[in-house]
Every structure is written in C-alpha cells, then in structure tokens.
Amino acid sequence: MHLRRSLYEGYKTAHNKLFSVKNTSDFQATGRLTPKEFVEAGDELIQKNPVWQWVGGPDHVQDYLPDDKKCLVYRGAPCAERAPVAQTDAPVETVDEDGFVVTEAPKAALPTTAVEEEKVLNWDDEDSASDDEDVVTTTPDSSSNLRVYDVYIVYDKYYETPRMYLVGYASDHVTPLTTDQMKQDVYCSNYGKTVTIDPHPVLSIPCISIHPCRHAETMCSLMCRMQQYYENEKGEEARRNPFIFPAHLALLLFLKFISTVLPTIQYDISSGFDLI
C-alpha cells in the first residue's frame, strides 16, 4: 500500500513539473479551476467570511500563484467530539452518487474555556497579602473534548481543484495533535479512502487531507442539480437567461459539499448558500 502510494505521488510530482497549469476557464462544465480563478474565489471567500485569510509562501512553492496567496486558512475551527469508533455509536452514513461517504453528525455545543480573573497589582506592600487572597483563578476543564483545527484550502495543480488540509491542536490552540490523535476525528469509513494523513504542500507538516480525485466531478454534479432546479423554477425565462454558476463562488460550493466528509470539525460557515 505504501509503495503504491509512493509511486502515485511520484507520478503526480513528475506530471506537475512537466505540464503547465490550466489556463482555460470552464468551471461550470468541468468543475475545475485555473490558478487565477482559485485566487479570485479565495478573495471572494475572504470578503464574505473574513475568518479566512491568505497565507504566503516561498516563490518556488506553487510558483503559479502569487507569493502572498499560496493558500487560504481558517484558524481555530472547533472540533468538540471524536468520531465514533463503534458501529453502534456511529451516526447514519450514506455513500452519495459522487462516491463520497456522507455522515450526519450533530453539532455539539462548544464548551467555554475558563480564564484567570485579571489581577490588579497593588504597590502597597501591606495590602499585597490580602490582595493575593482575593484573586480567584479558574482552570480549564481537563475533561473537555474540545480540539481546534487550522483549515487550509490549497490549489491542487494535478486535479485542478481546491484541496483541503487540516492541522489539529489541543484546545489551547498551541499543543499540536499527533497523527494518531487526528485520526480520532476521522470516521473509519472515510480514513484511508477519501481522508488520509499527508504533508502540507506549503508548510510541510502532517495534516488531515481530503483527497481531491472526485472534487471536480462532485462540484460539476452539484452545479447540474442547481441548473435543473433553476430551469424548473424559471421555465421560459431560463431559456432567455441561462443558468451560469460564477467561478468566483467556487470555494463556497466547495466548502458546502466537503463539510459532509469531516462533520465533527465545524469549518463550513458559508451562511446563505445552500445546495439544491
């Protein structure tokens, strides 16, 4: 399995070096983006949801993208529950028509983290002892299941689509999770198939990665459903004004469908944008 994966990754690397990037705009027909469209879609995502930010990188990494726009990041996406490991505990899972395992998981209420009450310094030595006694401190609940993830969206040159990477931390957003801990947040039916642990292409750190081999096909299928709904609703008007899905909204569409793959990590905040 590891040999097969190594050969596959080697082939992709060689392909990316030998072939130039996509420059034909045909997102609605193919579900694929050019690097220019990826940047425009990233700018649109940031405008609509400012929690997302661009991340820069060395000019030799993904040299077809601007130095200050190598990938997008949403820092601190909450993950309040571990993925079930026993079949009896697992929520309902289905395989959609595009081949993704879709899981319905409840949105858990996020625990609040207690903080130390601010201490006011008193320069009077006589009062310092009593002041210390008045300080009330609270400590975070060590039993809390809360973890946080930094969610990255990267342009994948080989598949010509967005690709998602997630880096996990403990609730302090400082202590990194091990790969085994990150696996606990992935449903068994997805891990090793649509979800793997891979190095980040810009940061070179281990991440949860959602494999993009069906991303273009899935987004194209979703746009076809939207078009059918639009034509059924508009009737004759749809002939005069045909359905066009703008490429600059591609990442909103991407986040909507990809959120079903890792439902325990709450990174889809694209309100007001629903799939048909």
Question: Which residues are annotated as catalytic?
Answer: 213
C-alpha distances in angstroms, 11 versus 15, 29, 63? 6, 26, 19
Nearest to 35 by CA among 59, 68, 66: 66
Nearest to 245 by CA among 11, 28, 56: 28
Contacts of 51 (CB under 8 A, 6+ apart): 74, 75, 269
Q: Identify residue 219 by its one-letter amino acid code.
A: M
Helix/strand/coil for 100? coil
Q: Which two tokens stand for residue 240?
A: 């005069």
